[in-house]
Amino acid sequence: MKFKVIAVISTAAALSLGMAGSAAASPLSSKPAPQVTGVRLQSALLPASAFGSGFTVTQRLNSGSKLASTRVRAKPSSLSCAGFEQYLYVAGFGNTAGAADSFNNPNPDFSSYPSVVLGGDQDVVQFKTASAAASYYNQAQARYKQCVAFTMPDPADNSQLELTMQSLSQTTIGKNKAFQVIQLVDIAALPALSFYANTAVVLAGTNVYTIDDVNGTNDPISASLLGKLINRVQALYKHH
């Protein structure tokens, strides 16, 4: 069971949700770095098996075969907590490309609870410059801090989820700036069990990486798993 949805923020969607973005992008003082398309980013994402044995891909989306406009259509602060955290966005924040996958554990072994993972997600958004990526990373971190407790729908079970912040900690992943978020998830469809939404966000050059899972334990996302994702994506730029 996974509750995140992969999406693209379009101008029409931003307006309809009352979150029209500013036309002014983040300061782009850094030298533009090599860029690849969303299709290429998708090719470097981790396989489903990286999240767990037998895991399957439930969603896959990228920003396309061309670089996107750096126009900012929405900001994390413009989104509700549910709108920000229930979705993995591959375009719309002024990034030039993005890609995301969602994975599901089709046969969770509840007999081993709490050591059971229900599913996971991975997301990478690429910006034109390192300063633009840093701006988005800082905005995302600020939004997580603001979202202390909120509810959102659970379309997988036609139910409701309640998320409560447990911790937000600063860290580094392979010398890259990062933060880890742990939230308690009360799942109406599974009232007898407690789960955690564990999320890690990493700023590495012009890219911002996110990996999350829904887990019976409140373990931070593995630094090794994040490192593998970053290395696979960085390898795309070697010939650019």
Name the residue among 205, 164, 168, 202 with its Cα closest to residue 183.
164
Give the CATH number for residue 74: 3.40.1000.70
Q: Which pLDDT does position 18 carry in this prediction?
A: 32
List the domain range (segments joined by +) for residue 66: 5-237
> Following DSSP, what letter does each residue of the chain receive, concatenated?
----EEEE--HHHHHHTT-PPPSSPPP--SPPPP---HHHHHHTSPPGGGT-TT-EEEEEEE--SSPPP--B---GGGS-HHHHHSEEEEESBS-SEEEEEEEE-SS--GGGTTS-EEEEEEEEEE-SSHHHHHHHHHHHHHHHHH-SEEEEEETTTTEEEEEEEEEEEEEEETTEEEEEEEEEEEETT-TT--EEEEEEEEEETTEEEEEEEEESS-PPPPHHHHHHHHHHHHGGGTT-
- What pLDDT sits at residue 201? 98
pLDDT values of the chain reduced to their tens digit, one per residue, 240 residues? 456 887 777 533 333 333 333 333 333 444 668 999 999 999 999 999 999 999 999 999 999 999 999 999 999 999 999 999 988 899 999 999 999 999 999 999 999 999 999 999 999 999 999 999 999 999 999 999 999 999 988 766 677 889 999 999 999 999 999 999 999 999 887 788 889 999 999 999 999 999 999 999 999 999 999 999 999 999 999 866
- Residue 193 has a pLDDT of 84
Q: What angle do CA 29, 34, 36 make, to 5 degrees?
A: 125
- For the chain, how many structural domains are there in total? 1
